[in-house]
A and B are shown apart, each in its own frame.
Chain A
């Protein structure tokens, strides 16, 4: 997972209060094994997720959600990133999410969603192919 400017940097966080961390940690370890630099931040408020993402200059944010409050927490996280002009970070999401809600979450700005039963390889491949694409695009268009 190396780009020209160095390894892909990923922040993994769990927005809100819910403390289930198996999904977040499993993906953290899979991305590390694949060569990414991963910051595991655990449970965080949407605003701290945006702050950590900027401080750590990450290319990707992986959000893990177990809380039924995702329809508030995800938009809040996206808004917090927007407020900090960090829209160019790739945002991926995984967890307990009814499939019906996927289109709405993508419309809100989540780039990709990974549901239970998937392979970690699908996530590492996606990150490998897409990390930085948004940033390049951003720098080209202005």
Chain B
């Protein structure tokens, strides 16, 4: 008997019981799929994919003071991590120093505190940043400073900026819509500064991926896979249009310095289809819309993070299983780099034990399951090829809707993006509460409440005090005249509308703090009020 249930993906794509050649009859293999390493990159960015190099195991980490975080990175590196990813605390992300009177409770609790280049030196002490790439997950406002500090650190270590590898920057929708950071500046000025960074960095440090278009937080709000893609690409379109309008760089200087970051949620095949569709869409956007000719511009270099919102506080060991499926989907989707969440995500930051388990989850997938042996093993599946098309179709449609709403800056300023995310948040919760979206331990197979089985990570309650003391010393020890001169130059260049990065670079080297530098921008541009419906 045929089931009468309504089968669909988490992104509401209706599903048939079986897919056949009829469903992919419109696909032209060369045009729509192609070989791995060849446009449109549906099957993967590189010809050999994981046969040459498996995805980077890059755990997003930041705990307490720079000294503590350095210990964490050493621990991860010793246990086989192959890329670093720094989680900064929210004051740092917001461009606010640890000694700001409002900051104490948040210093070092959701990431590491980093006030000046001195802190970054400590975070990377003894770590081989010449060999291992680093992702600096700074906030949009502080991203110029954090990147400048990292380059200053590299310079001190004698690493040429031409060689330094990693990812900086972040995404305006992520930081101005999906996160509500304090004391941010208006979106059009934020865009100007982000483009300054990319424009400068693609010449100064061409192997550095200066902008990380990051839709992780978008997806965590509850939007669909297709909407996630559209929000990701509207950011890219906004940045690129702004940079090309200025005319200082070509698209083929710019786009090879872009990186991408997505969430990996629970709908296994839809997520794989999403990553395949993303590569094809990026190729089309860069080639057809922006006229990029260099294949490096066309490549969707993607880091994925398993979705924290799929974790449950109830029956938390189930999260280990969820993460393993999500990592497997990332592998089958051809990601370049993966962060696996720890199973205690719904309770606290990871402990050493839960972090190690997440690391081992990735290593088991890479070394024991043989999924790395064959490129794009699901390519050619009637279902996966059809679903890749469907996700892509939905993403183009939603992207058009975003563009009709005014594009990147407009959808932030007008509140349109907030309303879309709010709708998604409420819809997501309703589906869980109605039982339409099944979650084991939440709306089915609910057991009795058990105490949390693992250790609980406790943040260092003294981190704020320690960082404030370090700042006091820094302001005594540094050459304050040099620091002031450097800050004055940042102010002059900002006021004149020049590219701020050369001045920010000098200020970072002169041990100016993130708060000192970002305050100049707040003075000049003003603090922006979020257009949230009250």
- Chain A, 1-23, contact with B by CB distance < 8 Å: what is the 0/1 string? 00000000000001011111110
The answer to whether B452 and A17 have CB atoms under 8 Å apart is: no
The residues of A that contact B104 with a CB separation of less than 8 Å are 69, 72
For the complex, is B534 an interface residue (Cβ under 8 Å from A)? yes
* Chain A residues numbered 1-60 whose CB sits less than 8 Å from any CB in chain B: 14, 16-22, 25-26, 29-30, 39-43, 45
CA gap between A41 and B534 in the complex, in Å: 7
* Chain B residues numbered 275-319 whose CB sits less than 8 Å from any CB in chain A: 309, 312-314
For the complex, is A130 an interface residue (Cβ under 8 Å from B)? no
Chain A contact surface mostly: mixed
The residues of A that contact B181 with a CB separation of less than 8 Å are 17, 19, 43
* Chain B residues numbered 419-449 whose CB sits less than 8 Å from any CB in chain A: 422, 425-426, 429, 433, 441-442
- Known pairs A17-B90, A17-B91; A22 contacts B348 (CB<8 A): no
The chain B residue sitting closest to A100, CB to CB, is: B456
The answer to whether B461 and A71 have CB atoms under 8 Å apart is: yes
Chain B contact surface mostly: loop
* Chain B residues numbered 430-484 whose CB sits less than 8 Å from any CB in chain A: 433, 441-442, 451-452, 456, 459, 461
- Known pairs A25-B422, A96-B346; A120 contacts B433 (CB<8 A): yes
The answer to whether A68 and B534 have CB atoms under 8 Å apart is: no
- Chain B, 199-224, contact with A by CB distance < 8 Å: what is the 0/1 string? 00000000000000000000011100
CA gap between A21 and B422 in the complex, in Å: 10
CA gap between A137 and B325 in the complex, in Å: 52
The answer to whether A22 and B452 have CB atoms under 8 Å apart is: no
The residues of A that contact B452 with a CB separation of less than 8 Å are 98-100
The chain B residue sitting closest to A43, CB to CB, is: B180
Of the residues A19, A41, A42, A121, contact of B90 by C-beta under 8 Å: A19
For the complex, is B96 an interface residue (Cβ under 8 Å from A)? yes
The answer to whether B110 and A40 have CB atoms under 8 Å apart is: no
The chain A residue sitting closest to B345, CB to CB, is: A96
The residues of B that contact A20 with a CB separation of less than 8 Å are 179
Of the residues B110, B441, B534, contact of A66 by C-beta under 8 Å: B110
CA gap between A78 and B410 in the complex, in Å: 38
The chain B residue sitting closest to A73, CB to CB, is: B105
The residues of B that contact A115 with a CB separation of less than 8 Å are 313
For the complex, is B182 an interface residue (Cβ under 8 Å from A)? yes
The residues of A that contact B182 with a CB separation of less than 8 Å are 17, 19, 43
The answer to whether A40 and B441 have CB atoms under 8 Å apart is: no
> In the assembled complex, how far is the CB of residue A16 from the closest CB belonging to chain B, in whole angstroms?
5
CA gap between A43 and B269 in the complex, in Å: 37
CA gap between A71 and B204 in the complex, in Å: 44
> In the assembled complex, how far is the CB of residue A93 from the closest CB belonging to chain B, in whole angstroms?
15
The chain B residue sitting closest to A71, CB to CB, is: B461
Of the residues A17, A26, A97, A99, contact of B106 by C-beta under 8 Å: A17
- Chain A, 99-114, contact with B by CB distance < 8 Å: what is the 0/1 string? 1100000000000000
* Chain B residues numbered 93-141 whose CB sits less than 8 Å from any CB in chain A: 94, 96, 102-107, 109-110
The answer to whether B429 and A98 have CB atoms under 8 Å apart is: no
CA gap between A35 and B221 in the complex, in Å: 24
- Count chain B CB atoms within 10 A of each CB in A21, A30, A40, A66 and give the residue with the most: A21
> In the assembled complex, how far is the CB of residue A60 from the closest CB belonging to chain B, in whole angstroms?
16
For the complex, is B527 an interface residue (Cβ under 8 Å from A)? no
For the complex, is B18 an interface residue (Cβ under 8 Å from A)? no
The residues of B that contact A30 with a CB separation of less than 8 Å are 426, 429
Of the residues A68, A96, A119, contact of B433 by C-beta under 8 Å: A119
The answer to whether B106 and A16 have CB atoms under 8 Å apart is: yes
Of the residues A17, A26, A67, contact of B425 by C-beta under 8 Å: A26
Of the residues A21, A69, A76, A120, contact of B429 by C-beta under 8 Å: A120
The chain A residue sitting closest to B529, CB to CB, is: A42
The residues of B that contact A69 with a CB separation of less than 8 Å are 104-107, 109, 459
The answer to whether A25 and B456 have CB atoms under 8 Å apart is: no
The chain A residue sitting closest to B89, CB to CB, is: A17
CA gap between A135 and B140 in the complex, in Å: 43
The chain B residue sitting closest to A27, CB to CB, is: B429
- Known pairs A20-B179, A98-B348, A116-B312; A40 contacts B105 (CB<8 A): no
CA gap between A112 and B314 in the complex, in Å: 19
The residues of B that contact A42 with a CB separation of less than 8 Å are 180, 530, 532
The chain A residue sitting closest to B346, CB to CB, is: A116
CA gap between A66 and B471 in the complex, in Å: 26
Of the residues B105, B309, B451, B456, contact of A67 by C-beta under 8 Å: B105
A: residues with CB less than 8 A from B are 14, 16-22, 25-26, 29-30, 39-43, 45, 66-73, 76, 96-100, 115-117, 119-121
Question: Would you list 22 pairs from A and B whose C-beta atoms are within 8 A, ordered by A residue?
Answer: A16-B90, A17-B102, A17-B103, A17-B181, A18-B90, A19-B175, A21-B180, A22-B425, A26-B429, A40-B534, A68-B110, A69-B105, A69-B459, A76-B105, A97-B347, A99-B451, A116-B312, A116-B346, A117-B346, A117-B442, A120-B429, A121-B433
**Sample of 15 more A-B contacts, CB < 8 Å, known A20-B179, A66-B110, A70-B105:** A17-B182, A19-B182, A21-B179, A21-B180, A22-B221, A22-B425, A26-B429, A39-B534, A42-B180, A67-B105, A68-B349, A97-B347, A98-B348, A100-B452, A119-B433
B: residues with CB less than 8 A from A are 90-91, 94, 96, 102-107, 109-110, 175, 179-182, 220-222, 309, 312-314, 346-349, 422, 425-426, 429, 433, 441-442, 451-452, 456, 459, 461, 530, 532-534
